[in-house]
Structure 1
Amino acid sequence: MDGPRFVIEASEASSMATNSGLSLLQLLPTFVKSAQTLARPPLSDYHVGADGRICVGVNLEFPGLPLHHSVHAEQFLVTDLVVHGRTRLLALSVSAAPCGHCRQFLQELRHASDLQLFITSDRQMEELQLSPFPTKTS
């Protein structure tokens, strides 16, 4: 049984980029719409897709449970990376700016300051900087 694919191996992603005449970063936005179709948001109807090896993350909601029990696409993506033995997220392309919860979640990752985060709409990308934690000054 073939189900949704949540991982595109590096060699295949590289080949797809080459065949499209794009860099891997330029290829990321092309997956956002298809990732959105994999989301299961029966409560909010907010289809979010996040792409990353290329790994795909989508939001998941559970009928009968409050929205705070949902899994956000960014969390799904990081979990997908770890399950597939990856230890670092380099770039992330999302369909909308991450919520505060997800920004905090991404900020907790090692090398978060190096993470390239792109908001994608109609195959255009806008880079978003994750704000670093404020430091206390005396």
Structure 2
Amino acid sequence: MNAGSPFSGQQSRIHSRTATKHIFVSGGVVSSLGKGLTASSLGQLLTARGLRVTMQKLDPYLNVDPGTMSPYQHGEVFVTDDGAETDLDLGHYERFTDENLSRASNVTTGQVYSAVIAKERRGDYLGGTIQVIPHITNE
């Protein structure tokens, strides 16, 4: 950019105005394939390029959190600063991106179903039939 450009010296503001981008790392239901370390590495590379990175793990299991799951089946639990028992991958995410994550960074299918059932019990759905579509998908 030349000195007369209205954007000279404003590159950081240009980046902050760009739309949010999402990168999904998936690999089926098999654990220990390296998806978490791959996502962590991508996060570190993007952070090194000056981009703001937020990591989130979406787990398909019906457990509310891995706190009561066997470490032999699921692996160790990582506890976030706000006390949430989460997947070990969140520890990798934090170390690789130098960001503190919270309970909102780990969502399980069990949490989603639990939230919908709690709303139904409170009467939030006004006696309507609760279904996967739209209630679970909208949660």
**Fold equivalence (TM over 0.5):** no
Q: When you count strand as a share of all residues, which structure comes out higher?
A: 1
Asked which structure has the greater CA Rg, the reply is 2
Report the TM-score when normalising by structure 2.
Answer: 0.25
With a CA cutoff of 8 Å and minimum separation of 6, indicate the structure with the bigger relative contact order.
Answer: 2
Report the TM-score when normalising by structure 1.
Answer: 0.25
